Structure 1
Amino acid sequence: MQNSKDDMTENIVYNDLKEAFLLREDIAFLNFGSFGACPKPIFDEYQRFQRELEYEPVQFIVNKGPAYLKESRICLGEYLTCHSDDLVYVPNPTYAVNIVARSLDLKSGDEVLSTDIEYGACDRTWDFHCEEKGVKYIRQPISLPLTSKEAFLADFWKGFTDKTRLVFISQITSATGLILPVKEICIEAKRRGVLVFIDGAHVPGQIHLNITELDPDFYTGACHKWMLTPKGSSFLYVKRVHQQGLNPLVVSWGYKADFPSNSQFLDYHQFNGTRDFSAYLTIPKAIDFMKWNDWWGVAEDCRKLVHSWLPRLCDLVGSKPLAPVTDEFIGQLGSIPVRCENPLELKNILYSEYKIEIPVMVQNGQAYVRFSINAFNSEEDLIRLERALTDLKERKLIF
């Protein structure tokens, strides 16, 4: 491991990136996708801000906080290729979805078009707000396994009607780990005159994202997943034309602000009362860490590992991958369809008996063992998973 410095901060280049993480060495951690994992230099930066907060809470929150947040948003905007004033920080993407779902001027009889492979918390959010407004939430069935981008798009647009007002769709799905063709969705939705809201929770840091080029109306992503920041740091992007229409989820000092900024959007949504926003401030450090450690090269290596093992593990349990195993559909998440009596029990056994941290998710009645691969993983982790699945098949816990 060697140390290097630039003009702003010390950066560490790791020869073995596993050394950068705080994860337990006895666990095969194949669940980066749920909550991420924060490298030591970024976590140190997090604690540095937390200490500064405790040394002088008033100065940190009231006087320094706005400038710190602005600096962080500028770095994030450059990383995402969008204007920093079109971003606000939120604790998680579900929070962002609630802001938009609550604020949109949807009328009784309108429809929100989505898929039946979305993240459960977001499904529940739309169910709640649509039911409250008399709006219909359409979970358009998607045929799995996917065979092509064109087949997916044909499936998806079957759910469109003249009552559709918004498309809500994941760029990378959660349980199934699929990369969806959201660029084509954005283009077609614009042609049809409907808004697009993309859930990109798993995108930043896993695949390249250029929000300006993609051109959605709304986009939310997590920084605490593939961007490596501490838990509770995510963002909401809103195209400027829609910003005035978004009400704060929590009404606080930014509403009718005594000292308004140049943006009602930022005033309404960025400060919602006392909280430790240190996690948001680590984003520049995380971007720097990824740059110094060739993170796109790391991501490519991780994808190759997923691509080589996903068909093999599916074959082991008698299933097939959910899409062609290419960069177009599969990134650093691999979902293995399995048949089992009790998915929660299976997850607990994988952890307690085999020391494998991995989720077993259920969607539309189908269970999936979803593995994530990041810099700290190796083929040995997947060999351990293969042995565990083989054993569980022999024990008839997978059939």
Structure 2
Amino acid sequence: MSTVKRDFGSFHASNVQELLDLSNEEYTPPPAPFTCPKFDKYRTETPHFGKDMRNKHFHLEEDCVFLNHGAFGGVLREALETAQKYQVWVEKQPLRFYDRELLPRLVYVTRRIAQFVGCDRRDLVLVENATTALNTVIQSVPLGPGEKLFCLSTTYGAVKKMLSWCCEQTGAHLCQATVDFPITDEQQLVDLVERNLEAGTKLAVFDHISSNTPFVMPIKDIIRVCHEKHIPVLVDGAHALGSLHLDISSLDADYYVTNAHKWLCAPKGTALMYVRRELQEKTRPLIVSHGFGSGFNSEFIWAGLHDYSPFLALHTVLDFWETLGVESILNYTHDLAKKAGDMLVKAWGTELAAPPHMFGSMSLVGLPPSLYAQEKPADYSVAEKIQNDLYHQYNMEVPVKSVQGRLYVRISAHIYNHLGEYELLRDAVIGKMQENKN
């Protein structure tokens, strides 16, 4: 093993488990093939969040009011540079990279990111996106006619389609409980699950943070309710990593999926899938390749030839977060989202879709009914029209959501945002209200 650790040598997918089994004292990480970005100045210099962070560390257009980080994220400038360096490095000697270097490097990334999200490295695999991971888990659950799957009405639309498709193929039934808005508190959601979840359900699927209506679920309590009924839980945490303190092991989920290219700001195509140890043997990759039969991590680490540089750039992303401090970043984004939400509610005379403490780095703020009163019902098409108007007239990216006949804006807050941008949103909506009156 020492030869493999230090000079790579000949390495195969079957060796992956060996490297993951090594203790931190035994393990020697492979050195990077080039100089990676460092953020040492933030060890002594307090970071200035807002415009300064945007100019230094992101590629966002200066004249765009970008309040929709939750859609597809926004890559950290230095992480993209690292990924591009790896792309060039690969082409200098492709056989050396893919046959000798890649898998040990992916093991190192897996070890680091597992520690960051609070789980055992042997229970975590790298995947390209949450959609792939969710499909992997859902399709691994054996279903038969009449058996049940469970989700809430706020579950992401693509996930509902996955669940419905599995039901169509197997004769199973999808049970869905409706979340009523505005939400009063966390107990409303726990009670909803308690009342509607039937014993014998094969799998319950919940968002950690709902995408369209971005309240933070009391996921630990909901998992407890499900486990009391002996029902396994799949958590869709697509929005969690980088917007919440994430400690996967403490949640006690059976499966947990999250994106690293959203709030953590990794290059596009970087996500994680956690599977409880005793369920790994039945959770098989959608793509069968060389690692098949060699262990859980081995089966997922190689999915054929594609661009693995986004995974390897996670080192730069983690260096950034660890240097600036997770607590410092989350305090800023949560505080900004709350201040912006409070300011918009007061200016528009509306309300949030849930109590302020149930939001993290996003918030769902009611739009003034007078803005869309002439449009009935206030459905998706009306929401889309207002969203497009804000973009075309004000160069403003903010999603407008239709929820039970009411319209809301979903605002995102990241370290490059500042309160003045939400004031521009406030004024744009007030301006459109004036247009409607005229």
TM-score when normalising by structure 1: 0.91
Structure 1 window deviating more from structure 2 (266-275 vs 61-70): it is: 266-275
Determine the structure 2 residue equivalent to 1:143: 180
- Trace 1:227-266 onto structure 2 (pairs within 5 A): 227-256=264-293, 260=294, 263=295, 265-266=296-297
Determine the structure 2 residue equivalent to 1:357: 397
Determine the structure 2 residue equivalent to 1:50: 87
Q: Deviations over 1:61-81 (max 9, x none)?
A: 222110111000000110011
Aligned to 2:408, what secondary structure does the other structure show? strand
| Alignment partner of 1:186 is 2:215 | no
Q: How many residues align?
A: 383
Aligned to 2:282, what secondary structure does the other structure show? coil
Structure ID, larger Rg: 2
Q: 2:336 & 2:257 partners in 1: Cα distance?
A: 27
Structure 1 window deviating more from structure 2 (219-228 vs 300-309): it is: 300-309
Contact 2:134–2:159 (8 Å) recurs in 1: yes
- Trace 1:301-380 onto structure 2 (pairs within 5 A): 301-326=332-357, 329-338=358-367, 340=372, 341=375, 342-363=382-403, 366-380=406-420
Determine the structure 2 residue equivalent to 1:269: 300
Deviation of 1:283 (Å): 1.5
Q: Deviations over 1:351-384 (max 9, x none)?
A: 1211111122345554432110111111110111
Contact 2:126–2:273 (8 Å) recurs in 1: yes
Aligned to 2:61, what secondary structure does the other structure show? coil
Q: 1:281 & 1:344 partners in 2: Cα distance?
A: 37
Counterpart AA for 1:46: A
Counterpart AA for 1:288: D
- Trace 1:25-40 onto structure 2 (pairs within 5 A): 25-40=62-77
Aligned to 2:292, what secondary structure does the other structure show? coil
Deviation of 1:266 (Å): 2.0
Q: 1:209 & 1:312 partners in 2: Cα distance?
A: 28
Which structure carries more helix by proportion?
2
Contact 2:199–2:231 (8 Å) recurs in 1: no
Q: 2:343 & 2:392 partners in 1: Cα distance?
A: 24
Aligned to 1:370, what secondary structure does the other structure show? strand
Aligned to 1:395, what secondary structure does the other structure show? helix
- Equivalent position to 2:57, from 8, 20, 25: 20
Deviation of 1:316 (Å): 4.2
- Inter-CA distance 148–71: structure 2 relative to 1 (3 Å threshold): same
Structure 1 window deviating more from structure 2 (74-83 vs 313-322): it is: 313-322
Counterpart AA for 1:80: V
Aligned to 1:353, what secondary structure does the other structure show? helix
Determine the structure 1 residue equivalent to 2:211: 174
Contact 1:17–1:375 (8 Å) recurs in 2: yes
Q: Deviations over 1:291-327 (max 9, x none)?
A: 212342122122112212213323544532111112x
Q: Deviations over 1:124-170 (max 9, x none)?
A: 11111122111212221112111122122112222211342221101
Aligned to 2:394, what secondary structure does the other structure show? coil
- Trace 1:121-132 onto structure 2 (pairs within 5 A): 121-132=158-169
Deviation of 1:178 (Å): 0.4
Deviation of 1:9 (Å): 6.2
- Inter-CA distance 165–146: structure 2 relative to 1 (3 Å threshold): same
Deviation of 1:107 (Å): 2.0
- Equivalent position to 2:329, from 298, 311, 314: 298
- Inter-CA distance 155–315: structure 2 relative to 1 (3 Å threshold): farther
Q: 1:21 & 1:87 partners in 2: Cα distance?
A: 28
| Alignment partner of 1:159 is 2:196 | yes
Contact 2:154–2:210 (8 Å) recurs in 1: yes
Counterpart AA for 2:426: E
Counterpart AA for 1:17: M
Deviation of 1:17 (Å): 1.6
Q: 2:69 & 2:327 partners in 1: Cα distance?
A: 17
- Inter-CA distance 9–311: structure 2 relative to 1 (3 Å threshold): closer
Determine the structure 2 residue equivalent to 1:3: none
Deviation of 1:191 (Å): 1.4
Contact 1:90–1:235 (8 Å) recurs in 2: yes
Counterpart AA for 1:335: L
Determine the structure 1 residue equivalent to 2:30: none
Aligned to 1:138, what secondary structure does the other structure show? strand
Q: 1:116 & 1:384 partners in 2: Cα distance?
A: 32
Q: Deviations over 1:244-284 (max 9, x none)?
A: 1012212222335xxx4xx2x22322211110011011112
| Alignment partner of 1:393 is 2:421 | no
TM-score when normalising by structure 2: 0.83
Q: 1:336 & 1:105 partners in 2: Cα distance?
A: 40
The answer for unaligned runs of 5 or more in structure 1 is: 1-6
Q: Deviations over 1:214-255 (max 9, x none)?
A: 111000000001111011100110011001101221222233
Determine the structure 2 residue equivalent to 1:4: none
- Equivalent position to 1:10, from 35, 38, 41: 38
Q: Deviations over 1:186-231 (max 9, x none)?
A: 1221111010110111111111111111111000000001111011
Counterpart AA for 2:422: L
- Inter-CA distance 120–368: structure 2 relative to 1 (3 Å threshold): farther
Contact 1:42–1:285 (8 Å) recurs in 2: yes
- Equivalent position to 2:309, from 268, 272, 278: 278
Q: 1:395 & 1:9 partners in 2: Cα distance?
A: 49
Q: 1:246 & 1:99 partners in 2: Cα distance?
A: 7
